[in-house]
Amino acid sequence: MSGPGPALAIQRASRAAHIPPDRALRRWARAALARASSVTLRFAVQSEARELNRRFRGKDYATNVLTFAYDAARGAPLAGDVVVCPAVVAREARAQGKRLEAHYAHLVVHGLLHMQGYDHERAADARRMERRERAILERLGFPDPYAPA
């Protein structure tokens, strides 16, 4: 990343003991963000994640990660919020046979890529986003999150 690194505020509304330490979260954010950014990374309880997903996506369940990107002037730092639900992350990691830390890293990277305009609604966009996720996670020492367990 060129220029100043991300300004990363970390909020822990969830008291889950397994949330990664700030140092790891900051390292993952630096790896995922291509330009100066102002990001709040919030760890939410399931009821909050469900309410946000219902209100902003029309889906009535707690999801693993939600991204809220705010409009910025061209060339200005990116700004946004990434909301992660630790209960969902832990449940998914167990169900998928993944290390919890690796799943957290993937979802933080995933959410930050959404903030930068990556998407996975169409197959071509999904392939582009997944390639970027794999490259970032490999540099961070994590396995391919899309490989079968």
Q: Which of the four CATH numbers 3.40.50.10800, 3.40.1710.10, 2.30.130.40, 3.40.390.30 does domain 7-139 have? A: 3.40.390.30
Range of lowest pLDDT (15-24, 30-39, 42-51, 135-144):
30-39
Please give the sequence-ordered ranges of beta strands (E in DSSP) within 7-140, or none if there are none. 7-12, 37-43, 65-70, 78-84
Q: Looking at the predicted structure, is the pLDDT value of residue 5 above 70? A: no
pLDDT of residue 1 exceeding 60, the answer is no
Q: How confident is the model at residue 4 (pLDDT cuts 50, 70, 90)?
A: low
Average pLDDT, the chain: 91
Query: For 50-75, what is each residue's pLDDT tens digit?
Result: 999 999 999 999 999 999 998 766 66
Residue 76 pLDDT > 80, yes or no? no
Ordered by start, the domain boundaries in the chain are: 7-139
Q: What percent of the chain has pLDDT over 70?
A: 93
| Nearest to 104, CA basis, from 45, 28, 14, 39 | 28
